Structure 1
Amino acid sequence: MKKIIITLLISAATLGFASGVIAATNEAKATYKAAKESAGADYKVAREACNALAGNPKDVCVAEAESVAKHTKADAEAKYKNTVSARTSARISMANADYDVAKAKCGSKNGNEKDVCIKEAKAVLVTAKADANAHEKVVDARVEARDEKVEAAYKVAIEKCDALSGATKDTCVASAKTQFKK
């Protein structure tokens, strides 16, 4: 009877912890969905405001409205996925949106001035993409370096345990495994 009660208590506790994780996941998903919907609604309002304009100012207005929506959606997705890759993708998406705005602003210029403006916008885009990719590589390199350092420290700790014997050695090895999460 005692075993059944203990098993039920452990099951209830495990279920309680699991439901907390599921709730957190559902909350993150709801936040992500709300941010996307908000971005869409904000875009529609901003887009409607652009209808009062004409020509290049209207093009710039529309590009800015789209850019804000893309920024919001990319940021929400990066937060939802919470990975280095997702953050890099978001930064690149935001850079592309900013490039579209810059190109629209160049539309009011003519000749060489327009060509220079577009080249400058392209240079900013290339720089932003390169920075995003470099940041991803740096984060990956830091994670790899941290893992290598932990592994090396774990090997040292185990080596120190080899000088011991019996229960002391077992305790030392168990302590090293706990410390380095092995």
Structure 2
Amino acid sequence: MISQRTTLLSALLLTFTFAATAAPLTKDEYKAAKEEISVKYKAAKKACSAHTSNAKDICIEEAKGDEKVARAELQAKYEPSAKHTNEILVVKAKAAHEVAKEKCDDQTGNAKDVCKKEANAAYTAAMAEAKLKEKTSENDKKAAEKITDAKSTAMDKNASAQKSANTDVRDANYKTAIEKCDAFAGDVKNNCIADAKQRFGK
């Protein structure tokens, strides 16, 4: 059962990565895929009629689980988000748990009790992994927002510093221009000063 748990967690991680990077579906693609899932579910459930007793129950649970997982994956592709991606992990964990519990009914006594405990342990581990992924995603998002805010603040401060520096340079150049005007007299000096004021926005 430990190997099954490891396999389940690995599958969930792969699902999380794939769903996070897959391109969104169009509305028509979404509708078509949704219909296909329904058709496959009905066919799978109908096929369970070939089984009897607990084998039939297991078959039905597997069909239900496959449908729920497929719908969760489809929703994540149609509306990509951390929430929908995480929902895939949750749905997979629940579906696997239901099937595992049903399989335990093939056993009796202590073996059945152990089987259920192992199924519950695998479910707990899978749900913990899903919760971890959700929290990690939230933390990454918050960190990204802080980085964005920090960059924005830095850009504002840099712009302010640049503006201040430009003002200092302009004022210094203006004073230099005015000083040069002192070499003249009368209208020439006045024109020189007027020109300096116009050039430096004074």
TM above 0.5, yes or no, is: yes
* TM superposition shift of 1:115: 1.1
Higher relative contact order (CA 8 A, sep 6+): 2
Change (3 A) 1:167 1:63: same
Q: Whole-Å Cα distance in 2 between the matches of residues 165 and 42 of structure 1?
A: 65
* Structure number, greater radius of gyration: 2
State the distance in 2 between where 1:43 and 1:121 align: 24
Unaligned runs of 5+ in 1: 1-24, 170-182
**Secondary structure in structure 1 of the residue aligned to 2:95:** helix
Q: Aligned equivalents of 1:167 and 1:30: distance in 2?
A: 56
1:115 corresponds, among 110, 113, 117, to: 113
Please say if 1:88 is aligned against 2:98: no
Which residue, out of 155, 172, 176, partners 2:153? 155
The CA deviation string for residues 110-132 of structure 1, in whole angstroms up to 9 with x for no partner, is 01111111111111112212211
Select which of 90, 105, 119 maps to 2:103: 105
Find the aligned partners of 1:143 and 1:157 in 2 and give their Cα distance.
21
- The reply to whether residue 29 of structure 1 matches residue 15 of structure 2 is no
Deviations for 1:120-172, whole angstroms, at most 9, x for unmatched residues? Answer: 11111122122112111111111111221222233223323333338958xxx
Q: Which of 113, 127, 136 is matched with 1:129 structurally?
A: 127
Supply the distance in 2 between the matched residues of 1:101 and 1:128 (Cα, whole angstroms): 14
Give the drift of 1:92: 0.8
What's the CA shift string for 1:37-74, capped at 9, x where partnerless?
21111111112221111111111111111111111111
Q: Which runs of 5 or more residues in structure 2 are unaligned?
A: 1-23, 168-202
Matching residue of 1:38: 36
Structure 1 residues 133-148: aligned runs within 5 Å: 133-148=131-146
SS of the aligned residue for 1:108 comes to: coil
Q: Distance in 2 between matches of 1:93 and 1:46?
A: 19
Match of 1:53 in 2: 51
For these two proteins, the number of residue pairs brought into alignment is 145
Identity of paired residues, percent? 35
2:63 maps to 65
What is the TM-score normalised by the length of structure 1? 0.71
**Runs of 4+ displaced beyond 4 Å:** 166-169
